[in-house]
Structure 1
């Protein structure tokens, strides 16, 4: 399977890339590193990468910035960091990428446990992660050509056994599930 891994040099990407390389062709992409450059907050950048890379079977996104801070420090500008990068960036990957992904391909987005279990100083993450989960649930009902979509919702990555994290992403791309929010280590 040919997999586009966006955010390959991030915390999760560095775990997934070597594990997936054993059985799949991995095309890595990131803002500053990887086989290709992509800025998920820029629709033109997303369109460009899908036009450059042909025959993608799966697109996994583990990229996207989000603001961390208390309610009093939160304002529209800080909230928009997560909305433009993590939420809208992943939404646009699907909106644009669905035209290019192979039939029966899959999108795997990354949200996080703050959608279900927010903690202090993470309001922005709660909003963004909840939005990603809702997008996956609704979009799974309408994607065409057998394309599937799921989200991985991990707890704190440093507390998750590597095998559990890898298994969650593999479940999303290697099985036929669609519209699932796969929770890892809550």
Structure 2
């Protein structure tokens, strides 16, 4: 398969790309790289599909949402644009360009317990998961859409100076994305 990985320079994206490259052709896309795309910019998503053709799958690991105070208007709006609306826009564009039977894998997330600044992430992640489930009946030509909902990644926690034992190793997270791409799941949220 020919697979675009958006966010391929990040911790999760690079692990997913490395794993999928063992058996597939991978196009690594990011804000800074040979193939440029910015989930905050719908025009760059359109340009991506104009420049990369004959695609079987798209994986988005780029859209992240920081812990955001409940009273922060600007952070909420920016986050909704990139993580929620950016991924929704990508699905709407990708379904016009993917080969029959292709797949789209988005990234939501999960918090085990409520935490300060987590209301934004909870809202966006729940919205993405509901969108994916509802969009399945409108996907043409046998296309599939799923989301992976990783919690904290061990390597990210370590980089932040926190206990990596509280996270999931990135290798395990990457396998969940491979399952979404290579499997038959439809409208599902996969939790590594």
TM over 0.5: yes
Q: Note the aligned Cα RMSD (angstroms).
A: 1.4
**Equivalent residue, structure 2, for 1:121:** 117
**Equivalent residue, structure 2, for 1:147:** 143
Say yes or no: does 1:15 pair with 2:15.
Answer: yes
CA contact (8 A) 2:105 2:181 kept: yes
Q: Which of 169, 174, 180 is the aligned partner of 1:161?
A: 169
**Equivalent residue, structure 2, for 1:87:** 84
Moved more, 99-108 or 153-162: 153-162
**Equivalent residue, structure 2, for 1:63:** 62
Aligned length: 180
Structure 2 length as normaliser, TM-score?
0.88
**Equivalent residue, structure 2, for 1:183:** 191
Note the residue ranges of structure 2 that are not aligned, 5 or more in a row: 155-166
Distance in 1 of aligned mates of 2:66 and 2:179:
29
Q: CA deviation at 1:117?
A: 4.6
Structure 1 length as normaliser, TM-score?
0.91
The 4+ residue runs of structure 1 with deviation greater than 4 A are none
Q: CA deviation at 1:19?
A: 1.3
**Equivalent residue, structure 2, for 1:112:** 109
